């Protein structure tokens, strides 16, 4: 989601040259921590923070934060273009069973790792032989450079040397989280841009699924934008 955020920031800066956005990509958990402790204006998450009952309430405020869904992501397995791995071997490879594949995943602090772990069999941890790397881009690079490697990643992965699996591991919302309290004008303007047609086009251009038009209208009405 880092690239999407950077594209939003770039397009927003062209519309409002006086306002600048600094983007730092470290993962959803770090983003939430930055929001709570270091005074960031907003955090971009590719999953709902633990404890948030988003589906039931439709508009949760876990720990006082405001969460807004701005798109949808589909998590899939990825491999090098033309590698044609036996897809039935992918899940066993992540569970540490004998396989010709070299499975690659994110490091332990990644929320996506937990989601994949739960999806492949609900084990407490990946099996032995799984390589752990600290960022999605490193996983993508490692997968692209080795024909026997498989990885997983969001729809936003756009390396031309990668192919994706047909079956999805998980569909998850792209979320922007804001601190509790009144929203600063610049932040409200940015959120308005993200929910605009132009902002949603960037979501689609980056490989994610944008919100339906009636959803963006509903969010705008709720947020008073």
Partner 1 sequence: MAESSRRRVPRSVRIADRLAGLVLGVGGSFAPFALAAAMFWLFWQADLLHPFADWSRVGGWLRGSVSLGLVALAGASPFAVTGALLGRGSDLVRLHLRMVAAVPLAVPAFLLLHWTAPWVSQRFGLPVQHPGWACIALAVGMVPPLWLILSDALERGGGISAAAYALGATPSQVMRTLILPASAPGLVAALLRGFSRAMGETMAVLLVSGNYASAWGGAGGAATVGAALVLDLPEASPGGGLWIDLMRGGLLLTVMTVSVYAVSDRVERRFRSGGQP
Q: Would you tell me which residues interact with partner 1 (CB under 8 A)?
A: 26-27, 29-30, 33, 96, 102, 107-110, 113, 124-134, 146
Least separation in angstroms between residue 134's CB and partner 1 is: 5
DSSP one-letter string for 187-219? HHHHHHHHTSHHHHHHHHHTTSBPPPHHHHHHH
- CB nearer partner 1, residue 124 or residue 197: 124
Residue 102 CB, nearest distance to partner 1 (Å)? 7
Query: Least distance (Å) from partner 1 to the CB of residue 6?
Result: 20
Pick between residue 29 and residue 209 the one whose CB is nearest to partner 1: 29
> 3-class DSSP state for residue 90?
helix
Closer by beta carbon to partner 1, 49 or else 210 = 49
CB of 97 to partner 1, least distance (A): 11
Q: In 45-78, which positions are buried (b, 16+ CB within 10 angstroms) versus exposed (e)?
A: bbbbbeebeeeeeeebebeebbbbbbbbbebbbb
Min CB(126)–partner 1 separation in Å: 6
DSSP 17-30: TT---------HHH
- Give the integer Cα–Cα distance in Å for 204 and 208: 5
Instruction: Report the run of H or E that residue 68 belongs to, with start and end.
Output: strand 66-80
Alpha-carbon gap, residue 200 to 212, rounded angstroms: 9
Q: Which is nearer to partner 1, 108 or 217 (CB)?
A: 108
Please identify which residue in the block is written with the tokens 């960031």.
Answer: 40
Gap between the Cα atoms of 183 and 41, Å rounded: 9
The dihedral built from the CA positions of residue 212, 205, 197 and 179, taken in this order, carries a sign that is positive
- Of 46 and 216, the one with the shorter C-beta distance to partner 1 is 46
**Please, which residue, 161 or 209, has the CB nearer to partner 1?**
161
What minimum distance in Å lies between the beta carbon of 35 and partner 1? 13
């Amino acid at each position: 989601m880092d690239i999407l955020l950077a594209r939003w920031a770039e397009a927003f800066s062209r519309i409002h040259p006086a306002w600048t956005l600094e983007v730092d990509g470290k993962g959803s958990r770090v983003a939430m921590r930055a929001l709570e402790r270091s005074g960031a204006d907003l955090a971009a998450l590719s999953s709902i923070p633990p404890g948030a009952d988003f589906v039931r309430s439709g508009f949760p405020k876990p720990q006082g934060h405001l969460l807004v869904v701005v798109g949808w992501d589909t998590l899939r397995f990825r491999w090098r273009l033309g590698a044609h791995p036996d897809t039935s071997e992918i899940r066993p490879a992540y569970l540490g069973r004998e396989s010709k594949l070299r499975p690659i995943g994110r490091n332990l602090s990644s929320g996506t790792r937990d989601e994949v772990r739960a999806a492949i069999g609900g084990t407490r941890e990946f099996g032995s032989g799984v390589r752990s790397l600290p960022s999605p881009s490193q996983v993508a690079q490692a997968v692209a450079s080795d024909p026997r490697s498989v990885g997983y990643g969001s729809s936003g992965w756009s390396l031309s040397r990668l192919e994706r699996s047909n079956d999805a591991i998980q569909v998850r919302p792209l979320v922007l989280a804001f601190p509790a309290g009144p929203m600063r004008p610049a932040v409200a303007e940015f959120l308005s841009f993200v929910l605009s047609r132009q902002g949603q086009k960037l979501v689609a251009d980056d490989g994610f699924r944008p919100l339906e038009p009636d959803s963006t209208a509903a969010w705008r009405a709720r947020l008073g934008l």
